[in-house]
Copies of this chain bind each other. A is one copy, B any other.
Amino acid sequence: MSASSAIKRIGVLTGGGDCPGINAVIRAVVKTGLLDYGFEAVGILDGYEGLVKDRMVELGYEDVSGILTVGGTILGTSNTAHPFEYVEHGGQAEDARDVSDQCVTNFEKAGLDVLFCIGGDGTLSIAHQLAAKGLPVVGVPKTIDNDICGTDVTFGFDTAVQIVTEAIDRLHTTAMSHHRAMVIETMGRYAGWLALVGGMAGGGDIILIPEIPHHMEVVCEAVGGRSRRGKRFSLIVVAEGVKRPEGGYVLRGRVEESHEKIRLGGIGVWLANEVQERTGVVSRAVVLGHVQRGGSPTAFDRVLATRLGREAVVQAAEGRFDVMVGVQGRDIVPVPLADVAQKQRLVTADSQVLHAARSVGTCFGDE
């Protein structure tokens, strides 16, 4: 492992939204560095904010002991800090400036030889930009949306799917006892993986995702058809990013900056109302929200996160940078960040998962 001989000290940061398994990645990066290569490890606090503001902590074996099972990130995160368009806390968007040199300076001042960036599309795109400035970065993809290119699956997705599934399981009996349509709104602004896979696992009768335009006539016919066949209830799973016919959509109960921008009630509530009006079947909506992205990861995600963290260190030790680690089949492989940044892996018409959902009778509102 001659390439690694140059590495003595590694830094790790976590960016973007919460996702079950981040701590498991941090643990694997630090332990692998320490045990396999003798690296020292440094945690950069609150995502890129800590790199800009030089807020870092040493990470020893004990610091990452016991965090495998814990949700969240011990390093904190930030959704907003962007080294190339940085806005001071409380500042205005028009005052954004490029502080990436400051990041490079702080990286060097801390004596770091590699920067591990655990994050979603935004975090990885910035990592790629930093690589262009000469920082030796390795990315680890992180999103419950499962929509990052170059990897079959992302950690956190399985946990989110499991949470969606358990919620549908619970709503199933209520729908059945009350002869209702229950609408379950999942996360997923652009990609429908969570609604699709969670909906399948929960036995959703109708699943609406952003990738497949739906017609309310088809949706309502599916509800009505079930009713006529003696199934007096329907489970409708909808991704938050699904658009209402008139256009415009609304996100996860988020509190926007100004009162005017608060659009209360998203696609789920709208859909429940629409179905009730059109079919006469009493309908209720549940918006799952942030419970989908927090808490202890499933076994699957713990192991995946551990493997990703380990392979990320291996890439660095072997001198491969400006890459992220991705799952491809049984293996975890390096993927150039250039192939990943600012792209999205959406549900496509030829997906076997989609075929399977259709084959067991799921309606997608499109035919």
Interface residues of A (CB under 8 A from B): 14, 17-18, 22, 27-28, 31-32, 35-36, 66, 68-73, 76-77, 79, 152, 158, 161-165, 167, 169-174, 176-179, 182, 197-198, 200-203, 253-255, 259, 262, 264-265, 268-269, 272-273, 276, 283-287, 289-291, 293-296, 298-300, 302-303, 306-307, 310-311, 313, 328-332, 352-353, 355-357, 359-361
In the complex, A66→B173 CA distance in Å? 11
CB distance from A204 to the nearest CB of B (A): 10
Residue of B nearest to A201 (CB): B299
| Chain B residues whose C-beta falls within 8 Å of the C-beta of A70 in the assembled complex | 173
16 further A-B contacts with Cβ under 8 Å, apart from A35-B359, A310-B355, are A18-B173, A31-B360, A72-B172, A162-B298, A169-B295, A170-B294, A182-B290, A200-B306, A253-B287, A262-B273, A284-B290, A286-B290, A306-B360, A307-B356, A310-B359, A330-B352
CB closest chain-B residue, reference A197: B303
B295 touches A329 (CB 8 A): no
With a cutoff of 8 Å between Cβ atoms, the chain B residues found around residue A31 in the complex are 359-361
Q: Quick check: B290 and A76 within 8 Å, CB to CB?
A: no
Nearest B residue to A268 via CB reads: B253
Q: Can you name the residue of chain B whose Cβ is closest to the Cβ of A331?
A: B352
B303 adjacent to A173 (CB under 8 Å): no
Is B359 a contact partner of A303 (Cβ separation < 8 A)? no
- Residues on B with C-beta less than 8 A from A169 are 69, 295-296
The distance in angstroms between the C-alpha atoms of A35 and B361, with both chains bound, is 7
Q: Which of A70, A313, A356, A360 has the most CB of B within 10 A?
A: A360
Contact between B165 and A302, CB atoms less than 8 A apart: yes
Known A-B contacts A255-B285, A265-B265, A302-B165; A295 and B173 likewise in contact (beta carbons under 8 Å)? yes
Q: A173-B71, A177-B73 are in contact. Are A269 and B273 (CB under 8 A)?
A: no
Interface centre among A28, A254, A268 (most CB of B within 10 A): A254
Q: In the complex the two chains form, is B158's CB within 8 Å of A299's CB?
A: yes
Which residues of B are found within 8 Å of A161, using beta-carbon distances? 299-300, 303
The minimal Cβ–Cβ distance linking A141 to chain B, given in whole angstroms, is: 16
- Name 11 interchain pairs, CB-CB below 8 A, sorted by A: A14-B177, A77-B178, A79-B178, A163-B170, A169-B295, A170-B290, A171-B294, A253-B284, A255-B285, A286-B290, A332-B352
Q: Hey, which chain B residues are within 8 Å of A162, CB to CB?
A: 298-300
Chain B residue nearest in CB terms to A301: B201
Choice from B291, B298, B307, B313 contacting A298 with Cβ under 8 Å: B298
Residue contact A32 to B360, C-beta cutoff 8 Å: yes
Would you call B170 and A291 a contact (CB within 8 A)? yes
- Given B69, B311, B352, which contacts A311 in the complex, CB threshold below 8 Å? B352
